[in-house]
């Protein structure tokens, strides 16, 4: 056997090992870009209009691919309909409606960086609800990350929190993170169905709940129709991005990555979402990071690093 014959299988194995890591990185990048899409849509498309269109189009796009599995999964879907509604309404609609609304009042960098608190909220919820313990190092990391988010929300003056002088956009984003953390914590109750069926049904619930919010708080159907009628090429590009990349491809890539390397390793890549979001805010939106944002980023990165190091030691 020649050296080339030995090298080829090794190279193939390396490619198989690297491929899921690339997919997971792309998923985080696409989710980070969702912040930019929301910011660019401001003034063109209302937050609830964007959310409604995003999830309705995502459901239509995934429908042809989900139909075969939908028939097979239907008994489990019917039994777990309540949880699927919860995921669509809380994890998809509430999180994204708050994210898109937050971009109207605060910077893309803030919106991106505050998302770093989601794993911390999940850790706190896991202990509070399911008694999943954490090490002292993990708790220290969580505390640093939380302080980093508070540092961002208070614009570098944490004492302002005592006076409740907060940017409404930052508050919206923190509430959105609480919604997504609740969604993540409850995924343990997800019906055992294929990811296509899961994405289709949850997207349908997200589209319907977004439309209801549009009717109640977004100006009704007339405002939605008006927003759609005013869309130009740039506006449709934003809608297409949130539908294809932030909704379908990101979810597909993340699920594929989880199947390849396991949930523990895959979950680490979620921490790249605020990184990509902040970098794209600088590169695409032309925003500049203020000194307090740099300080907050150091606390957030240090906190996440300590928490993940602690988790790796325990594994």
What pLDDT is stored for residue 15 in this prediction? 55
Alpha-carbon separation of residue 114 from 117, 153, 223, 253 (angstroms):
6, 8, 30, 23
Largest Cα–Cα separation, the chain: 74
DSSP assignment string, 143-171: HHHHHHHHHHHTTT-GGGGGGT---HHHH
Cα–Cα distance measured from residue 303 to residue 308, given in angstroms and rounded to the nearest whole number:
9
Give, for all 315 residues of the chain, the pLDDT tens digit: 555 554 445 554 555 567 888 898 899 899 999 999 999 998 889 999 999 999 999 999 999 999 999 989 999 999 999 999 999 999 999 999 999 999 999 999 889 888 888 877 887 888 778 776 667 777 787 778 778 777 776 777 777 666 656 789 999 999 999 999 899 888 889 899 998 999 999 999 999 999 999 999 989 999 999 999 999 999 999 999 999 999 999 988 887 887 777 665 666 677 788 888 888 999 999 998 888 888 887 887 787 777 667 766 665
Give the C-alpha separation, 37 to 100, whole Å.
Answer: 8
- Give the tokens for residue 9: 């299988």
Nearest-angstrom CA–CA distance, 270 and 149: 16
Residue 284 is given by DSSP the state T
189 C-beta neighbours (distance < 10 Å), count? 12
CA distances from 306 to 31, 110, 115, 142, 310 (A): 23, 22, 17, 8, 6
The structure's pTM equals: 0.83
**CA gap 119, 274 in Å, rounded:** 12
How far from chain centre, in Å, is Cα 245?
12
CA distance 91 to 207: 12
Give pLDDT, residue 118: 84
Tokens of 294: 């740099």
**Confidence (pLDDT) at 2:** 52
Q: Which residues contact 222 (CB under 8 A, 6 or more apart)?
A: none
Of 129, 150, 127, nearest to 138 by C-alpha is: 127
The pLDDT, as a whole number, for residue 6 is 44
21, 272 in Cβ contact below 8 A?
A: no
Residues 6 or more apart in contact with residue 192 via CB below 8 angstroms: 76
Q: How far apart are CA 276 and CA 76, in angstroms?
A: 36
Which pLDDT value is given to residue 7? Answer: 47
Burial class, 286, CB count within 10 angstroms (exposed 0-12 / middle 13-18 / buried 19+): exposed
Q: What is the pLDDT of residue 201?
A: 96
Look up residue 184 and give its two tokens.
Answer: 């993540």
pLDDT at 311: 62
CA dihedral 33, 35, 38, 40 (to 10 degrees): -70
**DSSP structural state of residue 283:** H
User: What pLDDT score was predicted for residue 41?
Assistant: 92
How much is the pLDDT for 185? 86
């Amino acid at each position: 056997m020649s050296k080339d014959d030995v090298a080829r299988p090794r190279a193939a194995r390396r490619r198989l090992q690297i491929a899921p890591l690339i997919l997971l990185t792309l998923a985080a990048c696409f989710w980070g870009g969702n912040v930019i899409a929301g910011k660019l849509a401001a003034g063109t498309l209302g937050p609830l209009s964007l959310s409604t269109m995003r999830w309705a189009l995502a459901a239509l796009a995934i429908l042809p691919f989900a139909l075969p599995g939908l028939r097979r999964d239907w008994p489990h879907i019917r039994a777990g309909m309540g949880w699927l509604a919860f995921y669509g309404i809380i994890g998809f609609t509430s999180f994204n409606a708050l994210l898109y609304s937050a971009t109207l009042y605060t910077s893309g960098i803030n919106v991106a960086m505050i998302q770093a608190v989601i794993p911390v909220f999940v850790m706190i919820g896991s202990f509070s609800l399911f008694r999943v313990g954490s090490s002292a190092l993990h708790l220290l990391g969580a505390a640093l990350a939380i302080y980093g988010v508070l540092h961002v929300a208070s614009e570098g003056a944490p004492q302002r929190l005592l006076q409740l002088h907060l940017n409404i956009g930052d508050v919206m984003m923190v509430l959105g993170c609480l919604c997504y953390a609740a969604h993540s914590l409850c995924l343990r109750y997800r019906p055992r169905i294929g990811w296509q069926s899961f994405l289709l049904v949850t997207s349908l619930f997200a589209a319907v709940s977004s439309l209801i919010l549009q009717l109640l708080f977004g100006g009704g159907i007339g405002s939605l129709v008006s927003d759609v009628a005013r869309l130009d090429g740039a506006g449709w590009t934003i809608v297409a991005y949130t539908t294809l990349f932030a909704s379908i491809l990101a979810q597909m890539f993340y699920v594929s990555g989880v199947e390849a390397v396991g949930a523990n390793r895959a979950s680490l890549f979620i921490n790249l979402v605020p990184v990509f979001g902040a970098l794209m805010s600088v590169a695409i939106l032309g925003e500049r990071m203020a000194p307090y944002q740099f300080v907050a980023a150091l606390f957030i990165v240090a906190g996440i690093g300590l928490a993940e190091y602690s988790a790796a030691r325990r594994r």
